[in-house]
Amino acid sequence: MSRKHTVALVGNPNSGKSALFNALTGARQKIANYAGVTVERKAGRLTLPTGEPVELLDLPGSYSFDAASPDEAVTRDVVKGTFEGEAVPDVLVLVLDAANLEQHLVFAQEVLELGRPTVVALNMVDLAERDGLTLDPAALSEALGVPVIPTVAVRRRGIVDLNEAIAEAETHSDEEAPTRWHLTLPERRLSAKHMARAAILSKSTRHTIENGVDKVLLNPWLGPVILFGLLFVIFQAVFAWATPFADALEGGVGVISEAVTGAMAPGLVRDFLTEGVLAGVGSVVVFLPQIIILFAFILVMEASGYMARAAFLMDRLMAGVGLSGKSFIPLLSSFACAIPGIMATRSIADPKDRLTTILIAPLMTCSARLPVYAVIIAAVIPETTVGAGVGLQGLVLFALYVAGIIGAMVVALVLRRTVTKGAASGFIMELPRYQLPRIKDLLIGLWQRAWVFLRRAGTIIFVATIALWALLTFPKAEESESQLDASFAGAVADTIHPVLEPVGFNREMSLALVPAIAAREVAVSALATTYAVDAEDEDVAAEGVTAKIAALWSLPTALAFLAWFVFAPQCLSTIAVARRETNGWKWPIVMVVYLFALAWIAAGATYSIAVSLGL
Amino acid sequence: MTLDGFDSGRTARITGVDWASLAEDEGKRLKALGVDEGAEVAILHRGVFGGRDPIAMRLGNMTIAIRRMHAAAISVEAA
């Protein structure tokens, strides 16, 4: 048996390629990177009617082989067989949006000029019908010289026919490519126009729904109000709806931890499992519900076509700091977690834009900061109201979020004038037609995001947690001294404390920052341990630590600690992802240095202002 | 006149594009989307805050967002 054959999906962006990919492969998809570039490689298994399994590749959406972005260059090189390490696809499935035929036929001709065995999927015929178009696939097939299968990927219409056509085309994959015509772009455009006209049987003058909906959603006044209203609902949902699930997960980790404690004899191995593995990985896994809820909103916004409108509405604001509307999507994701946010920057074509977005993503208040904020605020901010029904504690929390956003904007502005200096980035984006998202596509997308997050928790965080646990556990303390004082971590804290003393941090806080480098939320349990609160469960620990902080910390010290966490890069995984996405250590180091510097300045400024105000 | 100053809602025919004033990749992208001499476009929406930037235009069956500076490079006449 020779190598496994490959079939590749090619087409314009917004041709419904990914929905077709999901319909053909189901949930068994492998997502990786193409060698040497941060372009996502999506592959799945397709079983042909003959029973033969082939690899189905979802190539990045492309407008032309004359690539204007790294994504398009990958598509061009893979299809032409010049991408090192990728076999030339045996069959190409050319995906065309039936309602946008004239435009999509331009790139289609470029693909067909290659002479590879090709099948055309005339996709989203239902949307074309909605717009009042009736098409003639046979006429199109005649004009293009390849089979044309009408499909509705989201409703699975035509999937079987398409599969059969792929199998038929595959039998010709070894044949010599016939010589094809070569046209210039204007010639292609002209012939696309003729072919589209010939394929359209009837066209009613019915207005597309986009115009009406966009009149409201892109209205200069109403549009931003609706977008900010939606963002408010999303944040409410992320924090309110996720709580019961997070509590349940936390409870589950507690139960396992107790079971391990009960089942094993006391000793190093048991401590390693409960205090190291379970406490560390468990404290990160509890954020899974928030991440899933935020991504559910993001995926619905993307699949429905609204995300591009949100980018349109935000573009003006982002342009003010040298970015474009395209940075909005990654930055929104970063409110759950900077890791998926940084990975989402792949959709930004301009390299300097993308780098700037990666560098400021950690300033969006991710969900890991919330436990730290919650504990400190509860301890030092009184539960009073300022004005009608606005609680002071809530106001402080809101101010911390705003501080992060303003910080990010200022940093972007500075970066665009210094290290990522260059021509102002443009904003050219197709606003796709509105569509009802399909549940199955959403579930596949959510599963992929959740899996990325869990895999990270199981690898990077796992290793970091073990390393920190070891630093905290060895060498063993003598009877009279505390374990933390004796440990390597304690020695590290003693080393860094002089640096942090000027900004108002006490020694316990400096100590807590060491394990919190793995993940911010660990600061809470670390403080709890430092104050020798006898509690395994983080909730109980948090209660105890709140009382201790209220008694032992001055208000300026506590505020300085909050200011520190707005900026400090207390997350190893973010740094690791930044390294992977920028292909080197240079930019992660820049990120870490500027964030620590900002954190130190912000904490110091907060401390001295609070002290001078007599707080 | 250029597209950025053209009335919203009215159809304009492109009479020329000043490709040299555009970044190479952006020119390529606009060309691939069908912006070229002879094409017909209409401005549908203009952005929110100062400068009425960006612009959403209709081109064939697509809605495309561009910045004003791109529109300023596109010469048009009433169709």
Tens of pLDDT, residue by residue over A234-290, are 877 876 787 788 888 888 888 888 888 888 888 778 877 877 777 767 766 777 887
Q: Are the beta carbons of B28 and A64 separated by less than 8 Å?
A: yes
Chain B contacts of A312, Cβ < 8 Å?
A: 45, 47, 54, 56, 65
Element (H, E) at B77: strand B74-78
Q: Are the beta carbons of A103 and B46 separated by less than 8 Å?
A: no
**Nearest residue of A to residue B59 by CA position?**
A103
Helices and strands of chain B, counted as H and E runs: 2, 5
Helix, strand or coil, per DSSP, at residue A56 = strand
CB-based contact (8 Å) between A81 and chain B?
Answer: no
Domain span including residue B11: 3-78
Sign of the CA dihedral running A449, A452, A570, A270: positive
Number of domains comprising chain B: 1
**Nearest residue of B to residue A72 by CA position?**
B29
On the question of pLDDT at A306 being above 90, the answer is yes
**Burial profile A384-421: b = 16 or more Cβ within 10 angstroms, e = fewer:** eeeeeeeeebeebbeebbebbeebbbebbeebbeeebe
Q: Where does the pLDDT of residue A539 fall: very low under 50, low under 70, confident under 90, or very high at 90 and above?
A: low
**Burial profile A565-577: b = 16 or more Cβ within 10 angstroms, e = fewer:** bbbbbbbbbbbbb
Residue A494: the pLDDT is 87
| A159 close to A22: Cβ distance less than 8 angstroms | no
Higher-scoring residue by pLDDT: A527, A117: A117
Q: Return all residues near B11 (Cβ < 8 A) that are at least 6 apart.
A: B40, B41, B42, B78, B79
Q: Return all residues near B28 (Cβ < 8 A) that are at least 6 apart.
A: A64, A66, A67, A68
Residue A536: the pLDDT is 44
CB-based contact (8 Å) between A48 and chain B?
Answer: no
Q: Are the beta carbons of A316 and B47 separated by less than 8 Å?
A: yes
On the question of pLDDT at A516 being above 60, the answer is yes
Q: Where does the pLDDT of residue A537 fall: very low under 50, low under 70, confident under 90, or very high at 90 and above?
A: very low
Residue B40: the pLDDT is 93
Tens of pLDDT, residue by residue over B44-65, are 998 876 567 899 999 988 899 9
Task: Name which of B4, B22, B64, B67 to mutate to probe chain A: the one with the most chain A Cβ atoms within 10 A of its Cβ.
Answer: B67
Residue-range domains of chain A with CATH: 6-203 (3.40.50.300)
**Nearest residue of A to residue B55 by CA position?**
A312
Of B33, B56, B67, the CB nearest to A218: B56
Could you say which DSSP state residue A88 is in?
A: P
Two tokens, residue A530: 């430092």
Q: Where does the pLDDT of residue A63 fall: very low under 50, low under 70, confident under 90, or very high at 90 and above?
A: very high
Distance separating alpha carbons of residues A330 and A326, to the nearest angstrom: 8
CB-based contact (8 Å) between A423 and chain B?
Answer: yes
Q: Are the beta carbons of A316 and B50 separated by less than 8 Å?
A: yes
Helix, strand or coil, per DSSP, at residue A378 = helix
Lowest-pLDDT range, A9-13, A157-161, A438-442, A515-519?
A515-519
CA triple A42-A577-A565, angle to 5 deg: 140
Element (H, E) at A545: helix A538-552
Higher-scoring residue by pLDDT: B51, A348: A348
| A603 close to A563: Cβ distance less than 8 angstroms | yes
Distance separating alpha carbons of residues A402 and A479, to the nearest angstrom: 47
Lowest-pLDDT range, A547-551, A587-591, B59-63?
A547-551
On the question of pLDDT at A44 being above 60, the answer is yes
Percent of chain B with pLDDT over 70: 96
Residue A43: name the closest of A12, A95, A14, A78 by CA: A78
Min Cα–Cα distance to chain B from A302, Å = 16
On the question of pLDDT at A14 being above 70, the answer is yes
CB-based contact (8 Å) between B32 and chain A?
Answer: yes
Residue A56: the pLDDT is 94
Percent of chain A with pLDDT over 90: 30
On the question of pLDDT at A230 being above 80, the answer is yes
Higher-scoring residue by pLDDT: A411, A1: A411
Q: Are the beta carbons of B54 and A325 separated by less than 8 Å?
A: yes
Residue A542: the pLDDT is 52
**Nearest residue of B to residue A308 by CA position?**
B65
- Any alpha helices (H) in A321-438, and if so which ranges? 328-333, 338-344, 351-360, 369-380, 392-417
Q: Where does the pLDDT of residue A606 fall: very low under 50, low under 70, confident under 90, or very high at 90 and above?
A: very high
Distance separating alpha carbons of residues A412 and A354, to the nearest angstrom: 11
Whole-number mean pLDDT of chain B?
90
Q: Are the beta carbons of A214 and B66 separated by less than 8 Å?
A: no
On the question of pLDDT at A612 being above 90, the answer is yes
Task: Specify the residue for token string 């990914």.
Answer: A18
A-B C-beta contacts closer than 8 Å: 115
Cα A101–chain centre separation = 32
Q: Return all residues near A148 (Cβ < 8 A) that are at least 6 apart.
A: A120, A122, A137, A138, A140, A141
Helix, strand or coil, per DSSP, at residue A358 = helix
| A61 close to A13: Cβ distance less than 8 angstroms | yes
Residue A534: the pLDDT is 39
Residue B10: the pLDDT is 92
- Quote the pTM value: 0.84
Sign of the CA dihedral running A504, A509, A515, A518: negative
Mean pLDDT of A64-73: 86
Percent of chain A with pLDDT over 70: 90
ipTM: 0.95
Could you say which DSSP state residue A399 is in?
A: H
Tens of pLDDT, residue by residue over A395-444, are 888 889 889 999 999 999 999 998 888 776 689 999 998 888 889 889 99
Residue A488: name the closest of A478, A508, A473, A501 by CA: A473
Q: What is the CATH number of the domain that holds B50?
A: 2.30.30.90
CB-based contact (8 Å) between B21 and chain A?
Answer: no
Q: Are the beta carbons of B65 and A316 separated by less than 8 Å?
A: no
Chain A contacts of B50, Cβ < 8 Å?
A: 316
Distance separating alpha carbons of residues A306 and A593, to the nearest angstrom: 37
Whole-number mean pLDDT of chain A?
84
Higher-scoring residue by pLDDT: A532, A123: A123
On the question of pLDDT at A134 being above 60, the answer is yes
Task: Name which of A316, A318, A350 to mutate to probe chain B: the one with the most chain B Cβ atoms within 10 A of its Cβ.
Answer: A316
CB-based contact (8 Å) between A579 and chain B?
Answer: no
